[in-house]
Structure 1
Amino acid sequence: MGANANATRLSIFPLTGAVLYPGLQLPLHIFEPRYRAMVSDSLARDRRIAMIQPQSPVEGAPLFRVGCVGRIADVEALEDGRYNIVLEGLSRFRIVRELDVTTPFRQVEAELIVDDMDEALSAVERASFEREARSFADAQGYAVDWDSVGRLDDMSLINGVSQIAPFDAAAKQALLEADTLAARCELLVQLMQFFGKHDGDDGGRVTLQ
């Protein structure tokens, strides 16, 4: 778990608050010219686009070190040049260095991270998570189909919640960087406990910064 595989060149889409996990999907609406160019380039090559968060919303801001590369699984090309795409997560990656490129979109050299996709939680960890998730959902007024949740495997459940959780960029990044499923689950529980007690003075978002 967490061992680095081969180095690879990736075109990146820096987007605050948007994270992707292996095996999950992320729908995106692409409208900026540079990212329309990136999608066109990706479709002509290997269909890969790497999602990663910038450390600040400033143009050209430094990037966090860990992201997830996805494959364009579905694409709708609109008449005005925009795209609606669905990325399917392939692998987490760790940036080695940013490349000096002439393309309008940024590119990096990265090492792919080999995750154990068969990793599972203990019965105690799963029960503790579901208990905290129910409490969190009730406190936030979320409607959840718990029967469907109960049928999810551990990886889909923990990564799925991590991807859509209403936490800030730092919290989402910490979840993505967790080296094991158990560690990610433990952090999720801590964040839900913290967020559940939050009074909402800053808009109701968890802040780890």
Structure 2
Amino acid sequence: MKLALFPLSAHLLPGGVMPLRIFEPRYQRMIAEAGDAGFGLCMWDARQGDELRNMYPIATRVRIIDFDRLPDGLLGITVQGVERLRIQHLWQEPDGLRVGEVEPLPLWQCGRLPRDQRNLAQALREVFSDYPEYAALYREPDWDDACWVAQRWIEVLPIPPEQKQWLMACEDYNPALNLLSNLLVASH
């Protein structure tokens, strides 16, 4: 599948919601052409010197769920993560828009959060409480779903992007839950 790519300094996973400000002409074109396929949201790789290839290989296909003209006149959109992707090939179009041939990765299977890891959901609730503008993006948080909780934590946890990429590339959410449990125990 061919998708336009939007590099950021943040990760978004399936089910995640993120507002974006669009101002560059190449990204305005990307939004205009997104249609049902959406576009790929990927993370900058600051270690990579090649400007064309300075993106990590695991991305997320997103769809636009809302848009508005912002007070400063820019286009504001809200996107939601649909599926994880692996960028296979990458090129740049004449206007600077990066496009990639991408391979969808299987969705993580949903499952109830194990009893001994429910503290992860409670800690995430505290993050939502501390950041109401972030919490407002999620009308119906699924605190009992291990996959949903793990994905939101991967998005917000201040860990190196290489570690987030490793977690995103895993076949399921269990490595993320194990890491989160260890981090939570270490912080208390």
Task: Give matches, 1:15-54, under 5 Å.
Answer: 15-16=8-9, 18-42=10-34, 45-46=35-36, 48-54=38-44
Task: Give matches, 1:1-209, under 5 Å.
Answer: 8-16=1-9, 18-42=10-34, 45-46=35-36, 48-56=38-46, 59-78=51-70, 82-99=74-91, 101-124=93-116, 126-127=117-118, 129=120, 133=123, 143=130, 151-192=143-184, 196=187
Q: TM-score, normalised by structure 1?
A: 0.69
Mark the runs of 5 or more structure 2 residues left unpaired by the alignment. Answer: 133-139
Partner of 1:205: none
Rounded to whole Å, the distance in 2 between the matches of 1:160 and 1:116 is 13
Count, aligned residues: 177
Identity level (%): 24
Rounded to whole Å, the distance in 2 between the matches of 1:150 and 1:115 is 17
Structure with the greater alpha carbon radius of gyration: 1
Cα shift readout 1:25-54 (whole Å, capped 9, x = no counterpart) = 111112233222222222xx3360211112
- Is the contact between residue 109 and residue 172 of structure 2 (CA under 8 Å) also seen in structure 1? no
Task: Give the 3-state SS of the residue equivalent to 2:180 in structure 1.
Answer: helix
Q: CA deviation at 1:119?
A: 3.5
Mark the runs of 5 or more structure 1 residues left unpaired by the alignment. Answer: 1-7, 198-209
Specify whether residues 80 and 130 from structure 1 end up closer, same or farther in structure 2 by C-alpha distance, changes over 3 A only. closer
2:169 maps to amino acid: E
Q: CA deviation at 1:120?
A: 4.1
Specify whether residues 115 and 167 from structure 1 end up closer, same or farther in structure 2 by C-alpha distance, changes over 3 A only. same
Q: CA deviation at 1:189?
A: 3.2
Specify whether residues 46 and 103 from structure 1 end up closer, same or farther in structure 2 by C-alpha distance, changes over 3 A only. farther
Q: CA deviation at 1:10?
A: 0.9
Specify whether residues 49 and 77 from structure 1 end up closer, same or farther in structure 2 by C-alpha distance, changes over 3 A only. farther
Partner of 1:206: none
- Is the contact between residue 54 and residue 61 of structure 1 (CA under 8 Å) also seen in structure 2? no
What's the RMSD between the two structures over aligned residues?
A: 3.3
Task: Give the 3-state SS of the residue equivalent to 1:162 in structure 2.
Answer: helix
Q: CA deviation at 1:190?
A: 4.0
